[in-house]
Amino acid sequence: MKMITLGTTGITVPQNAFGALPVQRVDMETAVSILRRAYEGGMRFFDTARAYSDSEEKLGHAFEGIRDQIYIASKTMGRTPEAFREQLDTSLKLLKTDYLDIYQFHCVDQCYRPGDGTGMYECMLEAKEQGKIRHIGVTSHKLDVAKECIESGLYETLQFPFSYISTEKELELVRMCKEHNMGFIAMKALSGGLVGNVPAAFAFIREYDNVVPIFGIQHEWELDEFIALDANPPKMDAEMRAVIAKDRKELAGEFCRSCGYCMPCPQGINIPTAGRIHLLATRSPYQQFLTKEYRDEQKLVDNCIHCGQCASRCPYHLDTPAMLASQAKKFWAWAEEHRSEWTD
Domains in the chain: boundaries: 3-245, 271-341
What is the predicted pLDDT for the residue at 253?
A: 64
Q: What is the DSSP string of 12-44?
A: EEES-EEE-SGGGGS-HHHHHHHHHHHHHTT--
Classify residue 11 as exposed, middle or buried by CB count within 10 Å of its CB (0-12, 13-18, 19+). Answer: buried
**How many Å apart are CA 81 and CA 89, to the nearest integer?**
12
Please give the class, per CATH, of domain 3-245. alpha beta
**How many Å apart are CA 340 and CA 343, to the nearest integer?**
9
Among candidate residues 117, 118, 116, 87, the one with its CA nearest the CA of residue 104: 87
**How many Å apart are CA 278 and CA 282, to the nearest integer?**
6
E strand or H helix at 145, and its extent? Answer: helix 143-152
Q: What is the DSSP string of 49-67?
A: -TTSTTHHHHHHHHTTT-G
- Mention every residue, 6+ apart, whose C-beta is less than 8 A from residue 12: 3, 4, 5, 6
Q: What is the pTM of this model?
A: 0.89
Among candidate residues 276, 240, 256, the one with its CA nearest the CA of residue 164: 240
Tally of CB atoms within 10 A around 198 = 16
CA 314 vs CA 139, 192, 308: distances in Å: 16, 16, 10
Among candidate residues 139, 337, 164, the one with its CA nearest the CA of residue 250: 164
116 phi/psi in degrees, rounded to 5: -85, 0
Asked if residue 98 lies in contact with residue 132, where contact means CB atoms within 8 angstroms, the answer is yes
pLDDT tens string for the chain (344 positions)?
Answer: 899 999 999 999 999 999 999 999 899 999 999 999 999 999 999 999 999 999 999 999 999 999 999 999 999 999 999 999 999 999 999 999 999 999 999 999 999 999 999 999 999 999 999 999 999 999 999 999 999 999 999 999 999 999 999 989 999 999 999 999 999 999 999 887 788 789 999 999 999 999 999 999 989 999 999 999 999 999 999 999 999 999 888 886 667 888 888 999 999 999 999 999 998 888 878 898 999 999 999 999 999 999 999 999 898 889 999 999 999 999 999 999 999 999 98
Tally of CB atoms within 10 A around 1 = 10
**What does DSSP assign to residue 205?**
H
- Mention every residue, 6+ apart, whose C-beta is less than 8 A from residue 239: none
What is the predicted pLDDT for the residue at 66?
A: 97
Angle formed at CA 286 by CA 166 and CA 335, multiple of 5 degrees: 110
What is the predicted pLDDT for the residue at 194?
A: 83
- Mention every residue, 6+ apart, whose C-beta is less than 8 A from residue 179: none
**How many Å apart are CA 35 and CA 18, to the nearest integer?**
8
